[in-house]
Amino acid sequence: MSKKVLVLFALLLSFGASVFVLAQEPGQGPSALDMQGIRGYLLGPGDVLDVRVFGQSDLNSLAEVDADGNVSNLPFLETPIRAQCRTDKEVQLDIAKAYAKYIRNPQVSVRISERKSRQPATILGAVKSPMQVTMFRKVRLHELVTKAGGWTDRASGTIEIMHTEAEMCPDPSDIFQKTALSSTGNFGVVVFKLNDLKLGKEEADPYIRPGDIVRVTEAEPVYVMGAVMGARELPLRDQLTLGRAIAMAGGPQRLANTSEVHIYRQKDNVGGQDDLKYNYDAIKKGKAPDVPLKPFDIIDVRPAGPFSGKSLGDMFVGMFRSSASLVTQRGLIY
């Protein structure tokens, strides 16, 4: 099995079916980032050039840059013209020099007819509009995220960039080429922090390569239920704690039993749940440390009085158990 097939297989396992629901305009190809800087476009294999020689119509041709990065099918020219990682104007000068051996002062025009050498970059995950983006210039991560509509409220705090192809025209002075790869370095995965990108740190805003897969990771959920002002599902991010989660659910109701709040937590590698009990009043007064939450925790704030028995809590847990178990399986994909 080839390395490229292995990369694609790993990609499908890591990112799931979301790669197949990329947002595109109906009937159109990948979205193109703005054309600013197009004059500096560097040619590559697959690009097509429209070559014209003034007064010599028999020399006009459409020439494709071959797999070796050369233009080798121009009329009457036996020596290939180097094109890869060069601009159309640089190639135009070389073609004019080559024809000068046969024509006095040839007037040559070279125009890029088709740009096909760059694979689109893909951005998916916790963004508003997952899509493929064709880039005609160097593009930084924040531009790609903006093109996808920005991140959603389910963004977990990290952005993963998978390099699927070697860079065609690397810049030795580019500091982002020296970024260390993760433990899955064979696939070229680099992880950046979303907060660093928000703060405008240069090291968190790399240039995106053609063919890159960019995934804004989604946070796994926790659930707050029972005697709170607004039971809800919360994304687990920014070191979410029990106290903060209850506050984000609107706080406890007036008759809530806040001296004993239950957290139902999935047991590691075995079935069932642990029933953990914490004193929310003590946490709020600073007399007990706040409790860091884990993925798929269910926080049950029970009412005080005759409805505070175990049966009521068991009823709510039963409602969440099947869905939480299913979500846990989904979480293992990542």
- 197-226 confidence digits (pLDDT tens): 989 999 999 999 889 999 999 888 999 999
Residue 233 has pLDDT above 60, yes or no: yes
Q: Which residues pair with 123 in a beta bridge?
A: 131, 214
The torsion angle over the Cα atoms of residues 28, 29, 33 and 39, rounded to 10 degrees, is: -110
Top pLDDT among 290 and 29 is at: 290
DSSP secondary structure code for residue 111 in this structure:
E
DSSP H or E run through 155: strand 155-162
CB–CB of 140/208 below 8 Å? yes
The segment(s) of the chain belonging to CATH 3.10.560.10 are 3-30+120-218, 221-333
pLDDT at res. 45 = 93
Residue 229 has pLDDT above 90, yes or no: yes
pLDDT at res. 50 = 96
Say whether 51 sits in a helix, a strand or coil. Answer: strand
Query: By CB neighbour count within 10 A (0-12 exposed, 13-18 middle, 19+ buried), where does 310 fall?
Result: exposed
CA distance linking residue 134 with residue 119, whole number of Å: 7
Query: CA of 18: how far to CAs of 14, 33, 162, 297, in Å?
Result: 10, 21, 15, 25
CB–CB of 32/136 below 8 Å? yes
CA distance linking residue 129 with residue 171, whole number of Å: 30
Half-sphere exposure of 82 (CA within 13 A, CB side): 3
DSSP H or E run through 52: strand 48-53
pLDDT at res. 271 = 75
Q: Which of 137-141, 244-248, 278-282 has the lowest mean pLDDT?
A: 137-141
Q: Per-residue confidence at 62, pLDDT binned at 50, 70, 90?
A: very high
Q: Per-residue confidence at 168, pLDDT binned at 50, 70, 90?
A: confident
The segment(s) of the chain belonging to CATH 3.30.1950.10 are 39-110
Does 39-110 carry CATH code 3.30.1950.10? yes
Nearest by Cα to 236 from 252, 249, 250, 218: 218
Q: Per-residue confidence at 156, pLDDT binned at 50, 70, 90?
A: confident
The residue assigned the tokens 């799931």 is 16
How many CB atoms sit inside 10 A of residue 72's CB?
Answer: 15
Q: Per-residue confidence at 161, pLDDT binned at 50, 70, 90?
A: very high
Which pTM value belongs to this model? 0.64
Token digits of residue 52: 């014209």
CA distance linking residue 195 with residue 114, whole number of Å: 39
Superfamily of segment(s) 3-30+120-218:
Outer membrane lipoprotein wza domain like (3.10.560.10)
Top pLDDT among 239 and 286 is at: 286
CA distance linking residue 271 with residue 100, whole number of Å: 79
**In Å, how far from its chain's centre is CA 291?**
31
pLDDT at res. 323 = 44
pLDDT at res. 264 = 94
Sign of CA dihedral 324, 329, 332, 334: negative
Strands 189-193 and 155-162: antiparallel
DSSP secondary structure code for residue 228 in this structure:
B
Protein fold of 221-333: Outer membrane lipoprotein wza fold like (3.10.560)
Token digits of residue 197: 């990108």
